[in-house]
Structure 1
Amino acid sequence: METRGRSLVKAIVWNVIGLISMTAVGFIATGSLSAGGMMAGINTALGFLSYLIYERVWAGIRWGRHHA
């Protein structure tokens, strides 16, 4: 089973990657770094919470795991 701390670190790293890429996409789409950054920030916050909940739900599901 994965620890909560590991799930948290994975979620943070994944969302930093997403924040950078979404800021670039938002900038390209709007021509404004602040608008692109705002879009990316909102997306990152929603994605972070969704991913963290998703990981914790799956951590509690036994299906598909091999037990030694």
Structure 2
Amino acid sequence: MKDSRYRSVVKTLSYRLIAIAITTTVTYILTRNILLSASVGGLDSLLKILLYYIHERMWAGVKWGRIFDSIDLKQKP
């Protein structure tokens, strides 16, 4: 059983929405500068979306720790 690329993208984006809100809020609290906060939040998210997606796809190929149903064993890779 493997996750689809679409599932990985959706998981990545949902996680990043939460993270961008936290990063932007903390930056704003520290700087009181909305433009800087938005810039830091945006750049941080773009980089982390890319890195998380790569990380997720690498882990999708690792069989360690997965539990397969008997139906999964009958499917071709």
If the length of structure 2 is used for normalisation, what is the TM-score? 0.83
Match for residue 40 of structure 1?
Answer: 41
Encode CA deviations 1:21-49: one digit per residue, 9 max, x unaligned: 11101101111011011011111011101
**How far apart, CA to CA, are the structure 2 residues paired with 1:29 and 1:58?**
35
Residues in 2 aligned to 1:29 and 1:64: alpha-carbon distance in whole angstroms: 41
| Structure 1 residue aligned with 2:27 | 26
Larger Rg: 2
Q: Percent identity?
A: 34
Aligned amino acid, residue 57 of structure 2: R
Number of residue equivalences: 68
Q: Note the residue ranges of structure 1 that are not aligned, 5 or more in a row.
A: none
Residue 67 of structure 1 deviates from its aligned partner by: 2.4
Tell me the CA shift for residue 20 of structure 1.
Answer: 1.0
Alpha-carbon offset, residue 63 of structure 1: 1.2
Check if 1:50 corresponds to 2:47: no
